[in-house]
Amino acid sequence: MNDTQVKIIEAAEIEFAEMGYGGASIREITKRAGVNVAAINYHFGSKEVLFKELVRYRIEPINRLRIDLLEKALRESDPDPLPIEKVVDFIVRPLLSKMIRDHGSDFRFMRAMGKAMAEERSFMKELHQDILKEIIAKFSKAIADSLHQPGFEKISYGMHFLSCCMLGIMMQHTRLQFISGGKIDLHDTENLANHLVAFLSAGLKAVSEVDPKI
């Protein structure tokens, strides 16, 4: 992306975080970016395309890192499967580290993504599926191997719960401050990742052991 496109995307990120997708105004984005409406039309064409490019701009490097970490660890552990905690860590930590540490105290991409996904527009569901397609395929297999092949249904449930939990973290991360009475630092990526990895790993194990008769 060129400098103008990045400037527009970063301005849009703030607008989407504050107003959600439906409430976001192209005119306000142009003011924040210091460009005219023609520049947005030229580079992106529409608010929908701008939102999609924002998500790709932020998420695709994270997904590439996730996959690189997983594939390197799999090569090193071959032929043994990875511990479930390590596989989950590769999903969780790159996202939290990037979204919390790199973008200051307002967590604007997390809020923008969370608010937009909550609106349940059809193109957002399609975008969500598209950007996670490779991640879901590779990590579902690694998780199934780690849990000794519990079956397609249990892995599907587990990945669904994992995805919903991650989306919830993005939408409601600032609630941690309220719940902890302000005692937990919202920027403490390490502790957040450690606790979330433990929570998700235990949940995936539990799902893999569910008696289908219950």
In this structure, is residue 191 part of a structural domain? yes
Please tell me whether the peptide bond between 79 and the residue prior to it is cis, using omega within 30 degrees of 0.
yes
pLDDT at position 158 over 90:
yes
Instruction: Judge whether 102 and 109 are in contact, CB under 8 Å.
Output: no
* pTM above threshold 0.95: no
- Residue 214 confidence class, pLDDT cut points 50, 70, 90: low
The CA distance from 95 to 131, in Å, is: 13
The total domain count for the chain is 1
Neighbouring residues of 19: CB distance < 8 A, sequence distance ≥ 6: 25, 28
The range of the structural domain enclosing residue 162 comes to 48-208
In this structure, is residue 26 part of a structural domain? no
Instruction: Judge whether 40 and 10 are in contact, CB under 8 Å.
Output: no
pLDDT at position 30 over 80:
yes
> How many alpha carbons lie under 13 Å from residue 15 in its C-beta half-sphere?
23
Instruction: Judge whether 115 and 54 are in contact, CB under 8 Å.
Output: no
In this structure, is residue 37 part of a structural domain? no
In this structure, is residue 77 part of a structural domain? yes
In this structure, is residue 126 part of a structural domain? yes
In this structure, is residue 84 part of a structural domain? yes
